[in-house]
Amino acid sequence: MSFTQQLTRTFEKEYAKEKGFADLYRQRLIEFRKEKESAVRVEKPTNLARARTLGYKAKQGFVVVRVRVRKGGGVFHRPAKGRRPKRMGVTKLTRNISIQTIAEQRASEKYPNLEVLNSYWVGEDGKKKYYEIIMVDTSNPSILADRGINWICRSTQRGRVERGLTSSAKKARGLRNKGRGAEKASR
């Protein structure tokens, strides 16, 4: 565990003793709901420790966007034309991509000059889920000079989200597990 994670954990424990972490979480969700747009640029990450483990650095070229996505598996309408019941295709259907990947794609649409690095969950209520997307400006000189992150500036990394190259998209594509036990992975 890194120093930042330890610091965040101790802060959350202290806060939980004083006021209660549930109150903080509830207040955050109320603020998230009040935002008119579904994708909003955020000054700094809500969960700094998680953002740093996913590659975020507090420097020029890094942008954090909070995205609101509705919950649920998607609506599948019953076909109007005749089919036998087995082929109606209404029940037991799931999405091909996760809601987190949908959030990443929406952030990418809103900020076309930025590239999605990664994302993480920040909250959910009865209707919506909230994710923070870490995005990188590939034309920023400080990003180009940083050896740890300048791999994202290559032409092969262009449109990562749309091609399913982020970690949440890879998970949905069945690429997370390799080796023993992955023989029957879907897709």
Residue 172's pLDDT is 83
Residue 67's pLDDT is 97
In this structure, are strands 128-137 and 114-124 parallel, antiparallel, or unpaired? antiparallel
**Gap between the Cα atoms of 113 and 141, Å rounded:** 14
Q: Which domains are assigned to the chain? A: 37-172 (3.40.1120.10)
Output b/e per residue, 110-127; b: 16+ Cβ within 10 A.
bbeebbbbbbbebbbeee
Structural tokens at position 54: 């996913």
Of 20, 7, 10, nearest in space to 49 by CA? 7
Q: State pLDDT tens for residues 114-152.
A: 999 999 999 999 999 999 999 999 999 999 999 999 999
Output b/e per residue, 41-71; b: 16+ Cβ within 10 A.
eeeebbbbbbbbebebbeeebbbbbbbbbee
Note whether 53 and 86 are within 8 A (CB): no
Question: Exposed, middle or buried by CB within 10 Å (0-12, 13-18, 19+), for 187?
Answer: exposed
**Gap between the Cα atoms of 49 and 16, Å rounded:** 17
Q: State pLDDT tens for residues 38-86.
A: 999 999 999 998 999 999 999 999 999 999 999 988 778 888 888 888 8
Question: Exposed, middle or buried by CB within 10 Å (0-12, 13-18, 19+), for 5?
Answer: middle
The overall pTM is greater than 0.85 = no
Residue 80's pLDDT is 86
Structural tokens at position 159: 């449109």
